[in-house]
């Protein structure tokens, strides 16, 4: 069964903000070429979560891990994204869909934060 990752952010009216998620997906594809990687925006921009799941299944995915590209748990990661994923997944009854945790206080993010702070010197 082919696996896919659907990276989901909030979405923005600013195209450069949405392009950031595309850049993240490109890097994930480069590091995990065996996985189909797609993006979706929760609102304000296309593709939607439903369109993202459709793209994953069009790539032959039987399993999709939806990753909320958010720092922490909140209404979007705890309620909105799970609801939108459930609604979209109903169109694909044989698809196995899981939702990963948001990025959180991971040690590598702390390293990045400190790196960015040091860059300001």
Q: Is the dihedral of CA 15, 41, 109, 33 positive or negative?
A: negative
Instruction: Assign a CATH topology to domain 2-119.
Output: Rossmann fold (3.40.50)
Which pTM was predicted?
A: 0.93
What are the beta bridge partners of residue 2? 61
pLDDT digits (tens, 9 = 90+) for 93-113: 999 999 999 999 899 999 999
pLDDT digits (tens, 9 = 90+) for 10-29: 999 999 999 999 999 999 99
Give the three-class secondary structure for 1. coil
């Amino acid at each position: 069964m082919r696996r896919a990752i659907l990276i989901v952010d909030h979405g923005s009216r600013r195209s450069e903000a949405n392009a950031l998620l595309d850049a993240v997906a490109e890097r994930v594809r480069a590091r995990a070429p065996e996985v189909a990687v797609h993006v979706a925006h929760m609102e304000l921009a296309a593709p939607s979560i439903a369109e993202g799941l459709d793209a994953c299944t069009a790539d032959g995915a039987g399993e999709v891990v939806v990753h909320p590209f958010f720092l922490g748990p909140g209404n979007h990661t705890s309620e909105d994204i799970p609801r939108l994923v459930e609604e979209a997944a109903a169109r694909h009854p044989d698809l196995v869909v899981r939702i990963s945790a948001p990025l959180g206080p991971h040690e590598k993010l702390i390293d990045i934060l400190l790196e960015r702070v040091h860059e300001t010197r």
